[in-house]
C-alpha cells in the first residue's frame, strides 16, 4: 500500500510476474476500494494471488517509533507478519523505510549476534554487479557493525552473484592508511583480522568502475554515495538529451545509437537496480523506491524471490554470522 | 612539481594560457633537469614566465605533518611563500593535498574567526554550476565549521557565479527533520539561525539536478559524494562507448551525435571542473587533480585567476566571516 502510487504499481508488477515466473504466489495488503478494478482477471492470476483488505496504512512521513506503536492492522505490519509466521518467504514494500525497518525488526527479530541491521543496494558494473551496504539504516555505526555488514554482504554476494569468495572493501576517502575517520580506521583493523576476502579501502569513484564485490560503510556515507551516483547518472542522461534537442542531426545520431545498441549489454536504467535489501533480520525484506514504476517494482520482487530461493537466511544461520 | 606528470603538464598549460589570457604572469617551481627543453621559446612566454629551481619536492604519499616539517626549500613551500609574501596572487598545485593544506595553513594562516579551512569543488548543472564543500579537508566537523563553510561558499558563489544572494543547502540523507546525524541536526539549526539564504536539506541525488548554489557538508561525506558523482559519470560514458563498440550502426549514431551536439552546451568532461579550492585561508590556493591533463590543469589555473581578480579574500575580510 506504500509508495507514491499505492496499489496500482504493485498489482501491475505482480500481474506481469505471475505470467513470467512459475512457482511463486503473491499476497497483497491494502485498503480495498479501488482494488477489484485493478486485479488481473485471468485464471492464472486468480490461482496465485490473494488480496487482504486492511483498515489502515502507515504514512510516508510517519516517525518510525510512532509508526511502530500504531502498526497493528496496517498493510505493512500484516505483510511482515505473514513472513514472521512462516506463511510467506519474503516481503516487499514501497512504503516508509524507517517504519518498515522498525516493524520488521520488531516482528522478525535480528539474527543472533547481529547488533544492527543494514540496507544493501545492488550497484551496476561494466562486467556484472556489486553491492554496497549500509545505505541508510544506521546513521551512526561502530566497527563491530561494519564487520557484521561485511559478513552479511559476503553471504548475499555468494547467493545472488554466485561468487564463492566475494571480495570485500571499505569505503574511504583515500587509499593511504592515514586517511579516514576513526570508524574507518578501526573497521579496517577489524576487517584485516577477519577471515573475509578483505581487500582494503575503496574510494567512491571506484564503486561502479572497480572490482570489489561487497563495499561496506556506515548508513550516512552509503546513502550519500548511492544517491550521488543515481543523481549523476540521471544528470548524464539529461545532459545528453538536452544536447540532442539542440540539433536535428545530433538527435538522429542519438536515435540511431539507441536503436542499434545491443539490448541488455549494460543497463543504466535505475529501475533495474531498484530495491534496498534489509540484512541482519530473521526474514527477507526488500524495500522498493516509493517512486518505483512497474519495471522497478518487479526488480524488487525478483530480488525477494531470488533471496528466498537461495535461502539466504538459512545460509547465514548455518555458517554463523561471526566468522572465526 | 607535484602531480603524476611533474612539470610537463603545468608548463604546457601555462604556455597555452599565456597566449590566451593577458595580464597574468606565471612562476613555476621545480627540480630543473628537464625544464629548459619544456619551456616555450616565444618572446611572449619569456616575458611573462619565470622558472625557479628548487632542491627538493614533497612526495605524494608523505604524511602532511612530516611534509610540513621537511617543507623548507621544496617547490610547494616556495610557491606558497610567494603568495604569503604578497609577490603572487594565487598558488596552484597538483601535489599532495594534505601537505598542500598543512603548508598553506602554516604560511598563509587561517582567516580570523575561521577554525577550519575547507576544500570547495565546483560541480556541473544543466543550467550553470554549483559548489560543494568541504570535499576532504576535515574528516570530523562541528556545526560551527559547517556554518563557516556556508559563509565561505556564499562569498565564493558571489564572486565566481556572480550571484547576489546564493542559496545554501545542507547535505543530508533525507528531507525530514528527523533524518540525519547529530552534526547535521545541529548544523541545520545553526544555519536556520544565520542570515544566509539557507534552504534546508539537500539529498546527494539533487547535487547536480537541484537548484541550490552552495551545498555544505563535512569533508568525509563531501569527498564521497564528489567521487561517487565522478565515478558514476565516467561509468556512464564507458557504458555508452562499450555499447557502441558492439554495433557499427550504434557507433555511427554516437559519432553523429557527438559531431553535431552544440559545443559547450553542457560539458560532462571532468577536466572542466578540475580544481579543489582551499577556502578559509589568508590567500588563494587551488589544488589540481594529480592526474590532470593540460586542459584540466588550465581549469585550475583559471579558477585561481578568477578568484584573484574577484579579490575573494578581501571580500571575505571586508564583510567578515561570521554573519550577524
What DSSP string runs through A146-182?
HHHHHHHHHHHHHHHS--SS-EEEEE-S-SSTT-S-H
**Would you state the pLDDT for residue B299?**
92
Flag the least confident range among A66-75, A258-267, A282-291. A258-267
- Does A305 score more than 90 pLDDT? yes
A60 part of contact set with chain B, CB < 8 Å? no
Residue among A206, A235, A262 minimizing CB distance to B246: A262
- Does A289 score more than 90 pLDDT? no
**Would you state the pLDDT for residue B321?**
55
B106 part of contact set with chain A, CB < 8 Å? no
At B28, the pLDDT band (50, 70, 90 cuts) reads very high
What span, in angstroms and rounded, lies between the C-alpha atoms of B279 and B307? Answer: 11
What span, in angstroms and rounded, lies between the C-alpha atoms of A218 and A146? Answer: 7
Residue pair A201/A170 in contact by the 8 Å Cβ criterion: yes
Segments in chain A forming alpha helices (H): 8-20, 35-38, 43-48, 64-69, 75-84, 97-108, 143-160, 182-192, 219-245, 248-260, 294-309, 312-319
**Cα B299 to the center of its chain, rounded Å:** 9
**Would you state the pLDDT for residue A287?**
95
Listing DSSP states for B104-167 in one string gives HHHHH-BPTT-SS-EEEEEEEETTEEEEEE-SSS-SS--HHHHHHHHHHHHHHHHHHS--SS-E
Nearest chain A residue to B267 by CA distance is A239
Chain B residues lying within 8 Å of A220, measured CB to CB: 173, 180-181, 221
End-to-end CA distance of chain B: 42
Mean pLDDT confidence for B48-59: 89
- Does B178 score more than 60 pLDDT? yes
Q: Dump pLDDT digits (tens) for A149-206.
A: 999 999 999 999 999 999 999 999 988 777 889 999 999 999 999 999 999 999 999 9
Give pTM, 2 decimals: 0.90
Angle at A114 between CA A108 and CA A115, to 5 degrees: 95
Mean pLDDT confidence for B7-21: 90
Chain A residues lying within 8 Å of B246, measured CB to CB: 261-262, 265
Residue pair B99/B76 in contact by the 8 Å Cβ criterion: yes
Closest to B3 measured CA to CA, from B284, B81, B12: B12
- pLDDT mean across residues, chain A: 88
Chain B residues lying within 8 Å of A178, measured CB to CB: 63
Higher pLDDT pick, A292 / A82: A82
- Does B38 score more than 90 pLDDT? no
What span, in angstroms and rounded, lies between the C-alpha atoms of A169 and B317? Answer: 44
Residues 3-42 of A with CB under 8 A from B: none
Residue among B205, B231, B246 minimizing CB distance to A205: B231
ipTM for this prediction: 0.89
B5: left (phi over 0), alpha (psi -120 to 50) or beta: alpha
Residue pair B123/B226 in contact by the 8 Å Cβ criterion: yes
CA-CA-CA-CA torsion for A99, A104, A107, A108, nearest 10 degrees? -170
- Does B324 score more than 50 pLDDT? no
- pLDDT mean across residues, chain B: 88
Residue among A208, A228, A247 minimizing CB distance to B262: A247
Nearest chain B residue to A65 by CA distance is B178
- Does B162 score more than 50 pLDDT? yes
A256: exposed, middle or buried (C-beta count within 10 Å: 0-12, 13-18, 19+)? buried
Residues 173-192 of A with CB under 8 A from B: 173, 176, 178, 180-181
B66 part of contact set with chain A, CB < 8 Å? no
State whether A266 and B242 contact (CB < 8 Å).
Answer: yes
Amino acid at each position: 500500500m506504500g509508495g507514491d502510487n499505492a496499489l496500482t504499481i504493485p498489482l501491475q508488477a505482480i500481474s506481469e510476474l505471475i505470467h513470467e515466473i512459475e512457482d511463486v504466489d503473491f499476497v497483497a495488503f491494502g485498503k480495498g476500494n479501488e482494488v477489484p478494478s485493478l486485479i488481473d482477471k485471468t485464471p492464472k492470476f486468480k490461482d496465485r494471488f490473494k488480496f487482504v483488505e486492511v483498515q489502515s496504512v502507515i504514512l510516508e512521513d510517519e516517525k518510525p517509533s510512532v509508526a511502530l506503536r500504531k502498526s497493528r492492522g496496517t498493510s505493512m505490519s500484516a505483510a511482515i507478519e505473514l513472513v514472521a509466521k512462516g506463511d510467506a518467504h519474503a516481503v516487499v514494500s514501497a512504503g516508509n523505510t524507517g517504519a518498515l525497518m522498525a516493524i520488521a525488526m520488531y516482528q522478525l527479530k535480528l539474527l543472533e549476534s547481529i547488533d544492527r541491521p543494514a540496507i544493501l543496494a545492488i550497484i551496476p558494473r561494466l562486467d556484472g554487479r556489486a553491492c554496497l551496504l549500509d545505505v541508510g539504516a544506521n546513521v551512526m555505526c561502530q566497527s563491530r557493525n561494519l564487520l557484521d555488514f561485511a559478513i552479511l554482504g559476503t553471504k548475499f554476494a555468494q547467493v545472488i552473484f554466485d561468487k564463492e569468495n566475494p571480495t570485500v572493501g571499505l569505503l574511504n576517502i583515500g587509499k593511504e592508511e592515514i586517511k579516514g575517520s576513526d570508524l574507518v580506521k578501526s573497521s579496517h583493523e577489524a576487517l584485516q583480522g577477519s577471515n573475509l576476502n578483505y581487500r582494503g579501502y575503496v574510494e567512491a569513484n571506484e564503486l561502479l568502475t572497480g572490482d570489489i564485490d561487497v563495499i561496506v560503510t556506515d548508513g550516512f556515507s552509503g546513502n550519500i554515495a548511492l544517491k550521488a551516483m543515481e543523481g549523476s547518472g540521471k544528470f548524464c542522461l539529461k545532459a545528453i538529451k538536452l544536447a540532442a534537442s539542440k540539433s536535428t542531426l545530433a538527435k538522429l545520431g542519438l536515435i540511431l545509437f539507441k536503436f542499434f545498441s545491443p539490448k541488455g549489454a549494460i543497463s543504466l536504467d535505475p529501475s533495474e537496480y531498484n530495491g534496498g535489501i534489509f540484512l541482519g533480520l530473521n526474514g527477507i525484506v526488500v524495500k522498493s523506491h516509493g517512486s518505483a514504476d512497474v519495471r522497478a517494482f518487479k526488480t524488487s520482487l525478483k530480488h525477494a524471490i531470488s533471496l528466498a530461493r537461495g535461502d539466504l537466511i538459512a545460509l547465514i544461520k548455518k555458517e554463523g554470522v561471526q566468522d572465526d
